[in-house]
Amino acid sequence: MFNKIMKRGHRKVSKSEEAYEYAQRGNRNSASVSTSNVVVNHASRGTPTSALANSVQQQPGGAVIAAAPPSGTIETLPLFRDVPVSERQNLFLRKLQICCFQFDFSDTLKMVREKEIKRQTLVELVEFIQSGSGKVTESNQEEMIRMISVNLFRCLPPASHENTGSENVDPEEDEPYLELSWPHLNLVYELLLRYVMSTDTDTKIAKRYIDHSFVLKLLDLFDSEDLREREYLKTILHRTYGKFMVHRPFIRKAINNIFYRFIYETERHSGISELLEILGSIINGFALPMKEEHKLFLVRALIPLHKPKPVALYHQQLSYCITQFVEKDYKLADTVIRGLLKYWPVTNCQKEVLFLGELEEVLEATQAAEFQRCMVPLFRQIARCLNSSHFQVAERALFLWNNEHIVSLIAQNRHVVLPIIFEALEKNIQSHWNQAVHGLTVNVRKMFSEMDVELFEECQRQYTERKEKSKELEEQREWKWQRLAAAASQGG
């Protein structure tokens, strides 16, 4: 039960005075009301004098009762369907005020009834918005966004790695974090989502309250470790991007800044995959020809996202965004492939496997002219992958020859490609420890020999000459060391 949550005057406030009080709240400061059990942080404006009194009770059937001051007056907050249409906006406002009170969920036995009252009130608000039974007034929209802000915008708890000192791990292997206050947060997010999606929501009015500050605070919440919260945020931000065209450049820039901080400073953020998922849809809607701003975003933010250690956690979404760019503008293929080569992992074999998979998707959308611009550095890297002692890396590189489009590009440029990788193929056949890699290499070698017999024989001849020359140099080096050793022993 709420006990002395608010202080009121000793007379009953009329509805006209109450409405005036709500209209005047804009210039008041934050208010904190303390009870013997809980400190409640209110919205950034003052509290209406008749919104909630000393205690809150619930009647059978769901009606909420707000008890008045010691004078004994009692106000009842019924269900929306139980009041005339003319009274629903005022009732909506009162229910919003109840939902501004926050609770300590770390103690499951503390204020159980009050928590349930708030939960059911939130359910009613969601149903009211969803039903479209009454268009919410502008002042009530402002109060609703304020209530949503009070509940959602909070300091997130320390991330698990801050408590344990561990590195980022695969969420499937780690115990998922669950926000204790989710029974309330879930409904607040649902209310915001329904408001943004509603056809009754006037964008011109709503953008006054869902402004840049509100959007930034939503983006800050993407660092929540609770997957359920990030899923709601992803959907809400995506809907906001679609509905509020005026916010689109700002949202893209704000996401850009999150990526910069993640790449160059922290390498720690829980919501990179969700943000990339939103961007994948945004990129899909880019008009052609593509703006320079979007190309810079690709070069300065998306490609460098391959650099951080935890790239595996969001690589699927990142790869989709990258491929979308190339599919929209095939001329970007050279830029993307060179970017991948720039951030190619040196010692992390699992990342190499991911990069090779992404490379195949990019090459699938690459045209011959762009392929020719980057094929020399590209196949030098592929040759190194072919000889990797980690069989998954070598195997994934050899799988590139299973793709008909890539084989077609290679065939058109075989005079450049084959000399680069011929030695790597021969090394695998002669000495790779893994039988699967050995078998795949034989198949690729056979493909080249059937593709161009003369070129294959020329590459084989040059390879044999290099081997013989290398053998001669090694023999000369050995002979010189023997002479030096003999001279040193004679001198001793």
For residues 116, 120, 126, 127, the Cα torsion angle rounded to the nearest 10 degrees is 160
In eight-state DSSP terms, residue 55 is: E
For the ranges 362-371, 455-464, 465-474, the lowest mean pLDDT is seen at 465-474
What DSSP line would sit under 158-195, residue for residue? PPHHHHH-PPP--TTTSPPP--TTHHHHHHHHHHHHHH
The dihedrals phi and psi of 72, each to the nearest 5 degrees, come to 100, -5
Q: State the Cα–Cα distance between residues 155 and 139, nearest whole angstrom.
A: 27
pLDDT of 172: 53
Q: Taking the model in full, what pTM does it have?
A: 0.80
pLDDT over 70 at 463, yes or no: yes
* Token pair 């400073």 in the structure block, residue: 265
pLDDT of 263: 97
Is residue 179 within 8 A of residue 233, CB to CB? The reply is no
The CA R_g of the chain, rounded to the nearest whole Å, is: 33
**Which helix (H) or strand (E) segment is 77 a member of?**
strand 74-77
Is residue 382 within 8 A of residue 421, CB to CB? The reply is yes
More confident residue, 272 or 485: 272
pLDDT of 38: 30
pLDDT of 174: 65
- Our CA angle for 481, 487, 489, nearest 5°, is 105
For the ranges 8-17, 163-172, 271-280, 386-395, the lowest mean pLDDT is seen at 8-17
For the ranges 105-114, 274-283, 399-408, the lowest mean pLDDT is seen at 105-114
What DSSP line would sit under 239-268, residue for residue? HHHHH-GGGHHHHHHHHHHHHHHIIIII--
pLDDT of 325: 97
Read off the pLDDT of residues 303-352 as tens digits, 9 standing for 90 and up: 999 999 999 999 999 999 999 999 999 999 999 999 999 999 999 999 99
Alpha helices in 389-434 (DSSP H): 391-398, 404-412, 414-431
Is residue 149 within 8 A of residue 196, CB to CB? The reply is no
pLDDT of 160: 66
Strand order in the sheet with 64-67: 55-58, 64-67, 74-77
Output the CA–CA distances (angstroms, integers) from residue 469 to 6, 96, 394, 476, in the order listed: 93, 85, 28, 11
- Band of the pLDDT at 164, cuts 50, 70, 90? low
In eight-state DSSP terms, residue 135 is: P
Q: State the Cα–Cα distance between residues 327 and 280, nearest whole angstrom.
A: 12
Output the CA–CA distances (angstroms, integers) from residue 79 to 82, 94, 162, 202, in the order listed: 5, 12, 45, 26
pLDDT of 83: 86
Sorted by sequence, the CB contacts under 8 Å of residue 178 that are 6+ apart come out as: 226, 228
Read off the pLDDT of residues 173-209 as tens digits, 9 standing for 90 and up: 567 889 999 999 999 999 999 999 999 899 999 999 9
pLDDT of 490: 84
List the end-to-end C-alpha distance of the chain, in Å, as a whole number: 98
- Band of the pLDDT at 492, cuts 50, 70, 90? low
Mean pLDDT throughout 75-79?
A: 67
Read off the pLDDT of residues 404-444 as tens digits, 9 standing for 90 and up: 999 999 999 999 999 999 999 999 999 999 999 999 999 99
pLDDT over 80 at 8, yes or no: no
Q: State the Cα–Cα distance between residues 219 and 197, nearest whole angstrom.
A: 18
